Amino acid sequence: MSKKILRNEAFQSLFASFICIILGVLIGYIVLLFINPTGAGEAIMEVLKNFFHYSKANLQIKNFGNTLVKTAPLLMCALSILFSYKVGLFNIGAAGQYCVGICASIFCAIQFGLGWLPCMIIAAVCGAAYGAVVGLLKSYCNVNEVISGIMLNWIALYTTNMILNNVKETTSPYTFHLNTHGEQAMLPGLGMDKIFAGNTYVTIALPLAVLTAVAIHIILEKTKFGYELKATGFNKNAAKYAGMAEKRNIIVTLMISGAIAALGASFMYLTDYEQWSCTSSAVPAMGFNGIAAAFLGGLNPIGTIFSSYFIQHITNGGAYVDKTMYCSQISDLISAIIIYLCGFVFFIKYTMNQILDKQEEKAALKEKAAAEANTQEGGDK
Amino acid sequence: MENQYAIEMLHITKKFPGIIANDDVTIQLKKGEIHALLGENGAGKSTLMSVLFGLYQAEEGIIKKDGKEVKINNPNDANALGIGMVHQHFKLVECFTVLDNIIMGVEPNKFGFLQKDEARKKVVELSDKYGLHVDPDAYIEDITVGMQQRTEILKMLYRENEILIFDEPTAVLTPQEIDELMQIMKNLAKEGKSILFISHKLNEIKAVADRCSVLRKGKYIGTVDTKDATIEELSAMMVGHNVNLHVQKDESVPGDVVLDIENMTVASKMHKNNAVKNVSLKVHRGEIVCIAGIDGNGQTEFVHGLTGLEPLVSGKVTLCGEDITKAAIRRKILGGMSHIPEDRHKHGLVLDYSLEDNCILMNYFDPEFTDKFGFLRRDNIRKYSEKLIEQYDVRSGQGPITIARSMSGGNQQKAIVAREIDRNPELLIAVQPTRGLDVGAIEYIHKQIVAQRDAGKGVLLVSLELEEVMDVSDRILVMYEGEIVGELDPKTTTEDELGLYMAGAKRDEVKA
């Protein structure tokens, strides 16, 4: 009975993810011990506690809302990576596609004064177009998607800086607040702010991101399109042999991935929670954290919902680490260590199966010995 | 008593989920003998050898080398004991050269710098000595399956192993090459090397092996001296009943032209010359046309060009009156072309998909399997796959949900044959359809091919096995260096004559 559960694919993913988290926290703790042993225990607890840092229920819920606001874009980035990964493509360009989404949604909102829905749609279209570049290069010029993705990330970053320069404050590098310059583009909250103690940043973004995850799960597992995509991912020669249009599939996949990542950006920036700094010199980490979230979620869209939340939870929690004991980079470092360890899910699963195999072999041996003791083996039937 | 055995495997039992691969099997390999291991696909031969090679651990039983018990936990242990193996599915790094693959793991070096010249000399010597011709600088992904196997054999010879395991080594070789290999094996045995020769080809076992152990469905049946046993006896031991070794078929009644190829030329990936040069041929309804030839003479490229996996340089292909020269692969499939590919792992299957998902690989978009909203109809897929499994006797651990990767090679092949024939094509292209299969399965697949012919389909068979060519085909076309050099009638020609054409010693002007 219990063996069957241990062999269950879903249980294994869950279990492995859990082990990874514990390992990550442990190693993070050890690093903290090295830097400053007195505050280590407290610091790691702060990371894990996140919004429980506050004692008032009101503040807790409000800050829980903040974590959720940033979970939505992370989940979208993770889904973007997951989707192309199923087709055998590593869409590291998700970060750049996310950047394009930021650029499109903010610019359309402030410069053109468009509503939230058109802003979102335009962001998705731009992201898809950006993803298509990677796809075209891959399928027609055989350019590795990782190489072109990374280079396009930088192009996206500086293009975004350049374009959004037109809609920024005169005294700071940040773009205008939406609530003053583009209120019509802010995502509707549908009254969710009341649940989250007046946190107006909580919007339809989160439910939309969760719906996207469910939709991707259905597409991959239940549809003809998913069957084709996964076949291409597992064995592109067989896909070609079966007459699947692998070139078209690669392009379509990266377009969808790009659209998802860019939508994620609009989920973030159309809440007015953050503004873009036009002097940014690094691609937003969201796209890269998405890689860890996808793996921690066992490359399952539904699992990714929870892993994205967890990663955002500890990332936010890092901000509460006592800055008098540790330098300000420590929060990023600790979250990074935990996220890094999250990538070990498949290794843990593999080890688990190895151990189970050994145990099963032993059990079979015992069984056979018992059977032999009871009966004499007959001849050939 | 003096120990006469190089390797003994005593009472080995190995289980996998849902299947007992080896059930109390005992094999004793004498020093300097060639010992054949005979059994159908899925009889547990490969598993047993994997246990010996340290890839699997047996639950029960012991292994003795020179009379002393040894533990083999991984291939390194096996290597240290002088055991070398040529696997059925090669263990080669595709993007490395032949030489790199041969020296991998035992790279000669000075202070960490590779000494490839030394290695190259040794490899060239070995390949000259044994007639295993292969370009040491060619990349594995660019060379044919036959050459890849030669690389594997060289790898073993390079390591100077004492106990050599050949896992179905002749499956891809030509008759002449098989004769050469047999000679090599005999020489090796004479030099004191002990050889375990896994095969289900009775002729070869009879020709080369001293003794033969038989496995059936994981059980050990017995060991016989091959000189005392007849082929019929061996085959009865292997399958448990008598089998018909020859294909029964009536006279072919050719009808209309199904496939018309005019002046087809296909480029080569390996060299600058074209691999297929100006080939023209016709396949009629109700006939089996066989392309015979030694591996690497353009057959692979010919089929790839025909099926659309590779582009044509020039030429025209007509299927059932429709020009399909530039048609997409999907169009060709829907137009009635069925293709049993040469490499079942590379093209034929999505190994990480379940058996049922592989069953619908060519027609998953059919309304039977996909509804109008694009959702897969899982219940129909299950029903269809169960039908194929039942009808074509595809054996697997868990039925339709078995992951294709975990199935034995023969059953993987059966699944592909089932899928391709069941689509009811107009033209069946079968490339080495029985490669690596046992007698029972070969008989079955040959029957199916003949049944397709009798149902008025055109069959284009590409085979490297002389016996298959002579037995199954109605018309033989010999391909040599990318050209059709002869058209022969299997009823009037002999294997020797065919061999001469295949070797390029004889050629006719052929008008298709």
B378 and B439 assigned to the same domain: no
Contacts of B331 in chain A (CB under 8 A): 243
Write down the pLDDT at residue B265: 93
User: pLDDT band at A378, cuts 50/70/90?
Assistant: very low
Are the C-beta atoms of residues B396 and B442 closer than 8 Å to each other?
A: no
Please name the residue ranges forming H helices in B142-230.
145-158, 175-190, 202-208
Write down the pLDDT at residue A98: 96
| Residues 6 or more apart in contact with residue A306 via CB below 8 angstroms | A297
Between B333, B348, B369, which is nearest A243 by CB?
Answer: B333
Domain-terminating residue out of B188, B209, B239: B239
B290 CA: distance to closest CA in chain A (Å): 22
| Residues 6 or more apart in contact with residue B309 via CB below 8 angstroms | A240, A241, B303, B329, B347
Instruction: Count interface pairs A-B at CB distance under 8 A.
Output: 80
Between B307, B350, B375, which is nearest A222 by CB?
Answer: B375
Contacts of B375 in chain A (CB under 8 A): 222-224
All residue ranges of chain B with pLDDT < 70 are 1-2, 17-18, 41-42, 88, 131, 145, 171-176, 241-245, 270-272, 436, 509-512
Range of the domain at B203: 5-239
A238 touches B: beta carbon within 8 Å? yes
Token output for B50: 């994997």
Between A223, A242, A244, which is nearest B376 by CB?
Answer: A223
Contacts of A243 in chain B (CB under 8 A): 328-333, 362
Are the C-beta atoms of residues B374 and A223 closer than 8 Å to each other?
A: yes
The neighbour count for residue A68, using CB atoms within 10 Å, is: 22
Cα–Cα nearest to A308, from A323, A297, A298: A297
B451 and B420 assigned to the same domain: no
B21 and B137 assigned to the same domain: yes
Which residue does chain B place closest to A241, by CA atoms?
Answer: B347
The neighbour count for residue B27, using CB atoms within 10 Å, is: 22
The interface pTM score, or ipTM, of the predicted complex is 0.76
Between A225, A234, A368, which is nearest B353 by CB?
Answer: A234
Domain-terminating residue out of B401, B424, B447: B424
Adjacent-strand bridge partners of B486:
B478
A361 touches B: beta carbon within 8 Å? yes
CB contact under 8 A, A231 and B362: no
Domains contained in chain B, number = 3
B388 and B485 assigned to the same domain: no
Q: What is the DSSP string of A327-356?
A: -TTHHHHHHHHHHHHHTTHHHHHHHHHHHH
Q: Give the CA dihedral A364, A366, A370, A373, nearest 10 degrees.
A: 110
Domains of chain A by start residue, with CATH = 2-353 (1.10.3470)
Could you give the percent of chain A with pLDDT greater than 70?
A: 94
Mean pLDDT of A230-255: 91
B229 and B276 assigned to the same domain: no
CB-neighbour burial class of residue B269 (10 A; exposed 0-12, middle 13-18, buried 19+): middle
Write down the pLDDT at residue B1: 47
B73/A369: higher pLDDT? B73
Over residues A125-142, the pLDDT tens digits come to 999 999 999 999 998 998
Between A235, A243, A364, which is nearest B351 by CB?
Answer: A235
Token output for B147: 């050459």
CB contact under 8 A, B376 and A241: no
Q: What is the DSSP string of A203-226?
A: -THHHHHHHHHHHHHHHHHHBHHH
B150 and B23 assigned to the same domain: yes
Task: Determine the length of chain A.
Answer: 381
Which residue does chain A place closest to B219, by CA atoms?
Answer: A380
Write down the pLDDT at residue B238: 79
CB contact under 8 A, A243 and B330: yes
B134 and B152 assigned to the same domain: yes
B72 and B118 assigned to the same domain: yes
> Does pLDDT of A379 surpass 50?
no
Token output for A76: 């979208």
Write down the pLDDT at residue B132: 73
CB contact under 8 A, A241 and B370: no
Write down the pLDDT at residue A187: 87
Please name the residue ranges forming H helices in B60-144.
75-80, 98-103, 116-130
Are the C-beta atoms of residues B61 and B12 closer than 8 Å to each other?
A: yes
Write down the pLDDT at residue A1: 44
Phi-psi region of B456 (alpha: psi -120 to 50; beta: other; left: phi over 0): left
Between B59, B219, B370, which is nearest A361 by CB?
Answer: B59
User: pLDDT band at A377, cuts 50/70/90?
Assistant: very low
Q: Give the CA dihedral A274, A279, A282, A284, nearest 10 degrees.
A: 20
CA distance B41 to B437: 6
**CATH code assigned at B181:** 3.40.50.300
A227 touches B: beta carbon within 8 Å? yes
| Residues 6 or more apart in contact with residue B413 via CB below 8 angstroms | B344, B348, B433, B434, B435, B436, B437, B441, B445
Write down the pLDDT at residue A151: 95
The neighbour count for residue B29, using CB atoms within 10 Å, is: 24
A124/B150: higher pLDDT? A124
B132 and B271 assigned to the same domain: no
B409 and B438 assigned to the same domain: no
Adjacent-strand bridge partners of B438:
none
Q: Which H/E stretch holds residue A102?
A: helix A94-110
Write down the pLDDT at residue B18: 63
Cα–Cα nearest to B458, from B437, B468, B473, B443: B473
Token output for B46: 């490969």
B77 and B160 assigned to the same domain: yes
When computed from its CA atoms, the radius of gyration of chain A, rounded to whole angstroms, is: 24
Domain-terminating residue out of B181, B208, B239: B239
B117 and B160 assigned to the same domain: yes
Contacts of B412 in chain A (CB under 8 A): none
